[in-house]
Amino acid sequence: MTPAPQSESELLQRALDLAGFTLGEIAAKLSINCPQDLKREKGWVGMLLEAWLGATAGSKPMQDFENLGIELKSIPISYIGKPLETTFVCVAPLTGVHGLSWENSHIRQKLSKVLWIPVEGERDIPVPDRQVGMPLLWQPSEEDERQLKADWEELMEMITLGNVSKINAKHGEYLQLRPKAMNGKVLTEAYGANGQPIKAQPKGFYLRKAFTQRILNKHFVVPD
């Protein structure tokens, strides 16, 4: 495990050092076993990058580099550099949401500064052969923030009004809510239509691919 970076430039330099290497090569440097596919270790790439960059491991609901105020996100990309998956951000609060605003929300804090690291994610490339790309330190533009806030307010209104059971992934232009649990049997507390407590499947906030693709496109030249 690498010690935590003490500055933004130190973190960026470490990330730059990874560009061009394969996941197998990076795993070997850290003496970590590299799986052939991610069917049973879906978060493996993120954990590997955390280990290399010196992120604080653990399940704490805070940014990966707390002292720097930076969140780390690996993003699987296609052969032409487009996102292959949506990006999970954080779990959605289903209770205790009275008075919660976008400005003081957990998700806004997480997205205030993100170090994106593109990694080849095509399933026909064995995990050890997948290459890591150039890192990108990103902060939401005013437009990004407006759009995320609008989606967040729409989604949170459904939660607040007890419409959790009506929520699906089709809501939200750039931000969506999807199940986030080990399986469909996991239930947590939420509000019913009359304000009564009900049990519902946990939800997570995800960034749609159109949003993350725009982030990548602003900084990298990508073929059409």
Query: Site residues (CB under 7 A) for DNA?
Result: 37-43, 45-47, 49-50, 58-61, 64, 71-76, 85-88, 90-91, 106, 110, 119, 121, 123, 168-170, 176, 178-189, 201-202, 204, 206, 208-209
Compare residues 110 and 149 and give the one whose CB is closer to DNA. Answer: 110
Output the smallest distance, CB 7 to DNA, in A. Answer: 20
Compare residues 142 and 186 and give the one whose CB is closer to DNA. Answer: 186
Compare residues 95 and 142 and give the one whose CB is closer to DNA. Answer: 95
Exposure b/e, 61-87, CB count within 10 A at least 16 = b: eebbbeebebbbbbbbbeeebbbeebb
Output the smallest distance, CB 20 to DNA, in A. Answer: 18
Compare residues 114 and 140 and give the one whose CB is closer to DNA. Answer: 114
The tokens for 79 are: 């052969």
Grouping H, G, I as helix, E, B as strand and the rest as coil, residue 35 is: coil
Output the smallest distance, CB 179 to DNA, in A. Answer: 4
Exposure b/e, 121-149, CB count within 10 A at least 16 = b: beeeeebbebbbbebbebebeeebeebbb
CA distance 192 to 172: 21
Cβ within 8 Å of residue 147, ≥6 positions away: 173, 174, 211
Please measure the distance between the N-terminal and C-terminal CA atoms of the chain and give it in whole angstroms.
Answer: 39
Compare residues 79 and 142 and give the one whose CB is closer to DNA. Answer: 79
Output the smallest distance, CB 103 to DNA, in A. Answer: 18
CA distance 93 to 104: 13
Taking the CB of residue 49, how many other CB atoms lie within 10 A of it?
Answer: 24
Output the smallest distance, CB 15 to DNA, in A. Answer: 12
Compare residues 105 and 149 and give the one whose CB is closer to DNA. Answer: 105
Output the smallest distance, CB 161 to DNA, in A. Answer: 18
